[in-house]
A and B are shown apart, each in its own frame.
Chain A
Amino acid sequence: MTALLDLASVSVSIGSAPLLDSISLRVDRGQIVGLVGESGSGKSLTAMAAMGLLPLIGGRVTGGNVRFDGQDMALMTDTQRRVLRGRRIGFVTQNPMTALDPVQRIGEQVDVVSRLHLGLPQAAARVRTLDLLTQLRIPDAASVAEAWPHQLSGGMKQRIVIAMALAGEPDLIIADEPTTALDVTVQAQIIQILGALVRDRGLALLLITHDMGVVAQVCDRVAVLYAGRLAEEGPVSDIFAAPAHPYTSALIGCIPQDGMAQGSLRGIPGAVPSALAMPPGCRFHPRCERASDLCRTVVPAPESCGQGTVACHHAGVIA
């Protein structure tokens, strides 16, 4: 089966800085795939590459290819790519405060998506908008549609952004940290609503997050990025039960959990390296407790591991 979104060994540079190194990732229809890693690991850049938006930030694909529904995005014209975004790929940004036009009413901002991408007349577009807002559990959708962005709370605004992403009836939603800017109770609601909508409609969702709890809650598969490389990828149930890559298990161990003994939370020592000073060998080795001489010199190749892949010389070995 053709994957809906298929990144095959994609490398990306901005200027002379190589930022993504041979990332492979696929998202199938009906699937929720989590993309995790610390800041600077390349999560958002991967999303930009998947949408063909790299030129906006001066980036370019230097290797591999990105296919959407079997079509190579590099071979598309700008117009084709633009139609793809909005119509077949919906995007939910991290910050709903800046994603909405402050001088346009909420309803109009959602209407325009289905007018533009589905060719609906205004009246039909508004019916769709109200329907979407209701599905996103926005109370009193009709009056919210008449409101201005500044009149809504952050959680409400994020639901509007999700409505805009859904309005073009896309096959794939890419959500970049959709709840980071929101309060915890609102965060949980939005994640749950987004997950349910994607499931009900049989859509695919690429969910970028730094929160392993969110991944465990809604995703089917997860890809863990570290410093521009894929550390591990596989089914959520396998990866949380037995993370093969030490970085994955360290990330899971960073979340304080009930009943955790004092002193058991240690974090990951050090920090993500800068793109201009990547360590040789495995990029995680300076922070890794399993690191050996091999790790310091030889880049670990991705190898299949159960139903996923892992790039580690000491995969699965519990230190």
Chain B
Amino acid sequence: MHIPDGFLDAKTWVAASLISAATVSYAAKKTREVLSDRQIPRLAVMAAFIFAAQMVNFPVAGGTSGHLIGAALAAITFGPWSAVLIMSTVLIIQCLFFQDGGLTALGANILLMGITAPFIAHWVYHLFVSPGAGRSRMFAGTFAAAWCSTFVASMVCALLLAVSGTVIATVGFPAMAFWHAIIGIGEGVITALVLAYLTQVRGELVFENAKV
């Protein structure tokens, strides 16, 4: 879902950049309050894993592909504010070194995949899963959180494209919704599998600080 340069008009990418810059700096403040030295390498390895996993596009119906965003994985593991920093780091590297996502669209891409997606995932997860919930409920909640994070991010993307005059809302919203409803299934399955693995090898690695 990385928006390239040229899809967004100036007012839209400037506005998205300002919102993202303010949110990321607030996320840095919130993360600083709770971050322990033990967690620093965990954040780093999560960012590295999400970068690598985003390279693996999986085919979906009709000659289209999708890849993991990873925002739900980061948000459920570390909480939404740390997830904002993890996703922003990944998106900045992808933009500056790999031309994945435009430089003018970096703020917009952070808004979609680095802010909207982790917060949606966080809210949906905690709607389904209360503390002390069983494993099956945790994984159902993980799937729902990950699916919603992809879907809602794609809706924000459609909104930015509509505001920019790139594609009208009546076309952009249903088209983005259709493909990302399918891609979201992949996001849900991969996120649930990775979290199942992480909770099995090391329960305290996950959920230790996820309230923040």
A is bound by B? no
- Interface residues of chain A, those whose CB is within 8 Å of chain B, are none
